[in-house]
Amino acid sequence: MTKIRRRAALALGLGVPFIARGARAQGEWPTRPIRLVIPFTAGGGGDSSARPLAAKMAEILGQNVVVENRTGGNAVVAASAVLQARDGYTFLVDAANQITNPLLLRDLPFDYRTSFLPVTQTARFPQVLAVRRDFPAQNVAEFIAYAKANPGRVSCGTPPAAGAGHLALALLEQRAGIRLLHAPYRGGADAARDIMGGQIDSMILTSSTARAPIETGRARPLALTGAERLPTLPDVPTLAESGFPGFDMDDWNGLFAPAGTPAPVIVRLQAAVAEACRDPGVLARMAPLGTVLGGQPTEVFAAWVERQREVAAQVIRDAGITLG
């Protein structure tokens, strides 16, 4: 049994009653504090967006909303902790791991698709394709032309391997017919540091992480990987506008509930997140970072997750992406 599987199996336990007190008290929900378990480290993008949303949700719901960091196992440890609780008060704030882990990890102790219910997207982190300041390309067309003339020699940093940036890179390679030299990093800050120092030619990072090298002029943004332009980078086009219609591969976080959570709880939870995402104070705090808040209806988010599963599966298969 793999290390990930052993840790997750211990977290899941055996014979745990499903949705205990939460099911009996759903008409009064919530009657006690709510726990949001996240697989991200404190201070990172996912953590930094979850905490202001949780604080506002607490005001809306009239109960404390506690954010708990449970890292490890490529986010499997956090997911397992939520499935172990199954009390109608413990939920998971996850990312693309919901989609990619089943494709990249063996011997998972649960099925993401059947074990979790998508509630709503909490935040989207637009990604930007940028090059070092002296790179000989001023736009996407020139970048692709240079990459075609130098196959496998143009480096591109993303954090981490098999993350959202790596998927966007692989998708761009497939659609543009180019081959880049992938440089995986443990974190976005490391890639930002290296492009400022000229150690890598290009990067695909979230707009917040890419902010320092771009604002200091040590990196030049070429395009955004999402479907829409950003107010913080109004002159930077999307890849969809740059010759790749439909290109949409941002990093994101979403709220997930254990399967079997009562429908009234899901409805109330989604409504609280949506209201928190519209709050002017929360918006003002997130906007400078380029974070786009969510709050979509549950059915819209669920359909989007399914589409992302299909895209990710094809990209990972065609690019031969692995975690090893």
Residue spans of the domains in the chain: they are 3-125+251-319, 127-224
State mean pLDDT over 33-54: 90
User: Is the model's pLDDT at 261 over the cut of 90?
Assistant: yes
**pTM to 2 decimal places:** 0.84
Pairwise CA distance, residues 26 & 43, whole Å: 33
Pairwise CA distance, residues 155 & 179, whole Å: 10
Q: Name residue 48's beta-bridge partners.
A: none
**Model confidence over 235-256: pLDDT tens digits?**
999 999 999 999 999 999 999 9
Instruction: Tell me the two tokens of residue 102.
Output: 């089943």
Judge if the upstream peptide bond of residue 262 is cis by omega within 30 degrees of 0.
Answer: no
User: Is the model's pLDDT at 7 over the cut of 80?
Assistant: no
Are 165 and 204 a contacting pair, CB within 8 Å? yes
Burial 61-86 (b: 16+ CB within 10 A, else e): bebebebebbeebbbbbbbbbbbbbb
State mean pLDDT over 217-239: 95
Q: What is the chain's Cα-based Rg? A: 20
pLDDT band at residue 44 using 50, 70 and 90 as cut-offs? confident
pLDDT band at residue 91 using 50, 70 and 90 as cut-offs? very high
Instruction: Tell me the two tokens of residue 267.
Output: 């409805």
Instruction: Tell me the two tokens of residue 218.
Output: 């040590």
**Model confidence over 96-118: pLDDT tens digits?**
999 999 999 999 999 999 999 99
Torsion of CA 67, 266, 126, 233, to 10 degrees: -100
What pLDDT does 324 receive? 61
- Share of residues in the chain with pLDDT > 90 (%): 79
Pairwise CA distance, residues 121 & 304, whole Å: 10
**Model confidence over 190-218: pLDDT tens digits?**
999 999 999 999 999 999 889 899 999 99
Strand, coil or helix: 95:
coil
- The superfamily in CATH containing domain 127-224 is Periplasmic binding protein-like II (3.40.190.10)
**Model confidence over 70-85: pLDDT tens digits?**
999 989 999 999 999 9
**Model confidence over 297-309: pLDDT tens digits?**
999 999 999 999 9
Name the CATH code of domain 3-125+251-319 (choices 3.40.190.150, 3.30.1330.10, 3.20.20.70, 3.60.15.10): 3.40.190.150
pLDDT band at residue 21 using 50, 70 and 90 as cut-offs? very low
Extended strands (E) in 57-161: 65-69, 90-94, 116-125, 127-132, 155-158
User: Comparing 3-125+251-319 with 127-224, is the CATH topology the same?
Assistant: yes
* Mean pLDDT of all residues belonging to the chain: 90
**Model confidence over 271-321: pLDDT tens digits?**
999 999 999 999 999 988 889 999 999 999 999 999 999 989 999 999 999
Going by their DSSP bridges, the two strands 219-224 and 292-293 should be labelled as unpaired
- How many whole angstroms from its chain centre is CA 173? 21
Pairwise CA distance, residues 179 & 186, whole Å: 22
